[in-house]
């Protein structure tokens, strides 16, 4: 299967390195120089492409997705920082008939963390003596704050318990690949749930799993649709292939 990489930075480069393990050949690579205003997303550049992954920039992603929709190319989008445009982009994708997986975080652990945040909020809803918080830290170069992941975590908490305010804060420092934490605190006790990413590799592998899953599908999907689809687990690379992969660079990362 042929893969196009839109945004060939830290994430795009890692996805290219891991792509063969998931049965992909990378045939197209775009960055800011050859894709200004989505001008690189053309029929010629995308001939034979089965699916595209976008880990580019907030200012570019909505336009990139619109061009992919026009070309009928399915996509996995990891770019964060453009949630305000999400409703229009979702409508465009649905009208076009392509399939898109979007997630601010392609790590398996974070997506389970999201479910735990929702479930904890639902269960604690009746106990008004608890105050709730959500916090994250990422490396100093991360542009958006709060992170897309933290916004999603807070959204899950507020859907589960609309009555409780959630105090939200973000730090940007050093080389952290990404830590997200939620908690509930009362005079009696304190409950904390935390996810810590060790490197970017988990995000890249999740995006590749989603890319394989979305081929031939139509609609707007969340990474959890991929993760908790019974067939998806059969799409993971074999343990042998994963073990033979290069060890991840201790690169900074984070969603």
Ligand X SMILES: NC(=O)c1ccc[n+]([C@@H]2O[C@H](COP(=O)([O-])OP(=O)(O)OC[C@H]3O[C@@H](n4cnc5c(N)ncnc54)[C@H](OP(=O)(O)O)[C@@H]3O)[C@@H](O)[C@H]2O)c1
Active site residues: 138, 142
Report the chain's terminal Cα–Cα distance, integer Å.
Answer: 27
- In terms of Cα–Cα distance, which of 182, 202, 178 is closest to 192? 182
Shortest distance (Å) from residue 165 CB to ligand X: 26
Q: Is 11 in the site for ligand X (CB under 6 A)?
A: yes
Q: Is 28 in the site for ligand X (CB under 6 A)?
A: no
Shortest distance (Å) from residue 81 CB to ligand X: 6
Q: Is 30 in the site for ligand X (CB under 6 A)?
A: yes
Query: Cα-flanking dihedrals φ and ψ of residue 61, to 5°?
Result: -60, -45
Q: Is 56 in the site for ligand X (CB under 6 A)?
A: yes
Shortest distance (Å) from residue 125 CB to ligand X: 29
Q: Is 32 in the site for ligand X (CB under 6 A)?
A: yes
**What SS3 state is found at 141?**
coil
Count of other CB atoms within 10 angstroms of residue 56 = 25
Select 155 or 185, whichever has its Cβ closest to ligand X: 155
Determine the Cα–Cα distance for residues 137 and 248; give it in Å rounded to an integer. Answer: 21
**CA atoms in the 13 A half-sphere facing the CB of 123:** 9
Q: Which residues bind ligand X (CB under 6 A)?
A: 6-12, 30-33, 35, 55-58, 60, 78-81, 103-106, 203, 253-255
């Amino acid at each position: 299967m042929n893969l196009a990489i839109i945004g060939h930075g830290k994430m795009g480069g890692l996805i290219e390195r891991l792509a063969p393990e998931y049965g992909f050949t990378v045939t197209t690579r775009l960055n800011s120089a050859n894709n200004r205003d989505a001008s690189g997303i053309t029929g010629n550049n995308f001939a034979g492409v089965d699916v595209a992954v976008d880990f580019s920039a907030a200012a570019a992603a909505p336009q990139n997705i619109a061009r992919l929709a026009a070309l009928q190319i399915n996509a996995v989008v990891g770019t964060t920082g453009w949630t305000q445009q999400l409703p229009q982009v979702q409508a465009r994708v649905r009208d076009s008939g392509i399939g898109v997986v979007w997630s601010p975080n392609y790590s398996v652990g974070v997506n389970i963390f999201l479910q735990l945040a929702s479930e904890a909020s639902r269960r604690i809803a009746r106990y008004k003596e608890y105050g709730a918080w959500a916090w994250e830290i990422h490396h100093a170069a991360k542009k958006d704050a709060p992170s897309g992941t933290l916004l999603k975590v807070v959204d899950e908490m507020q859907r589960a318990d609309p009555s409780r305010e959630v105090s939200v804060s973000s730090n940007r420092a050093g080389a952290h690949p990404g830590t997200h934490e939620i908690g509930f605190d009362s005079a009696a006790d304190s409950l904390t749930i935390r996810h810590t990413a060790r490197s970017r590799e988990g995000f890249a592998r999740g995006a590749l799993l989603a890319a394989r899953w979305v081929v031939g599908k139509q609609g707007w999907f969340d990474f959890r649709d991929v993760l908790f689809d019974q067939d998806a687990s059969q799409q993971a690379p074999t343990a042998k292939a994963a073990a033979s992969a290069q060890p991840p660079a201790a690169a900074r990362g984070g969603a």
